[in-house]
Amino acid sequence: MTISVIVPVLNEALTLPSTLARLNHPAFTEVIVVDGGSQDETLAAAALAAPTARILIAPVGRARQMNVGAAAAKGTVLLFLHADTLLPPAAADDITAAMIDPLVVGGCFDARLNPDRGLLWIVGRMMSWRARATGIATGDQAIFVRRRVFEELGGFPEIPLMEDVAFSGHLKRVGRIANLRSCVMTSGRRWERYGVVRTILFMWTLRLLYFLGVSPHWLKQLYGDAR
């Protein structure tokens, strides 16, 4: 089993090196960084932190960037990793163990937010609980999937927001989802910038509107580009 790690980036020069530093396991047979037009030193940071990584350019948009990376990937499993999310040390082994079961089509990790304290401590655990209860993961949880299944599903819907939720919904309909107990550590910068309670209510509102049929293009205008 081989794992291709696909990292969509846009102006992530500060966070990307730490993320790429966690990808030295032999099972991670390739790392693909897909840039959406960064205006900072993201590309230089990627080349320095992971000299063997493939760097691709794609139209801006996380779904588009991930699909471009997946199309170029050679691994039997695709792992989609946000630039500000750190994998646990045992990530490759945990994915490999989960995918031994032929009924498992993909999965995600439990999540913690950095800093893992106060209300952010609660948010990370709620995120993990929600994924286990519903089978719907967010991109912050490092979604992984068999490449064959990803291609059969047509990849991520190329919408400006909620592509992870939409894809997770499709994925759970075709097979078993592995919710790994090991935790990724993802940045809490959006939560800290806008306030934890306010961000919780905002995120819940966005998801509710999405499930009620509101266009992701309209929701993106509310969400903005900051994370």
The distance in angstroms from the start CA to the end CA of the chain is 33
User: What integer pLDDT is reported at residue 198 of this predicted model?
Assistant: 77
In a domain, 224, yes or no: no
**Residue written as token pair 């994924």:** 131
CATH code of the domain containing 72: 3.90.550.10
Range of the structural domain that residue 180 is part of = 3-189
- Our CA angle for 185, 189, 193, nearest 5°, is 155
Q: Give per-residue pLDDT as tens, 111-126.
A: 999 888 888 888 889 8
In a domain, 126, yes or no: yes
Q: What is the mean pLDDT of residues 71-93?
A: 97
Least confident of 97-111, 195-209, 213-227: 213-227
In a domain, 213, yes or no: no
Spatial distance between the Cα atoms of 8 and 147, rounded to a whole number of angstroms: 17
State yes or no: pLDDT of 65 exceeds 80. Answer: yes
Please answer whether residues 174 and 149 qualify as being in contact, where contact means their C-beta atoms are separated by less than 8 angstroms.
yes
Query: What global pTM score does this model have?
Result: 0.90
Q: Residue 56: phi, psi to the nearest 5? A: -115, 155
Spatial distance between the Cα atoms of 115 and 188, rounded to a whole number of angstroms: 7
Q: Give per-residue pLDDT as tens, 142-155.
A: 999 999 999 999 99
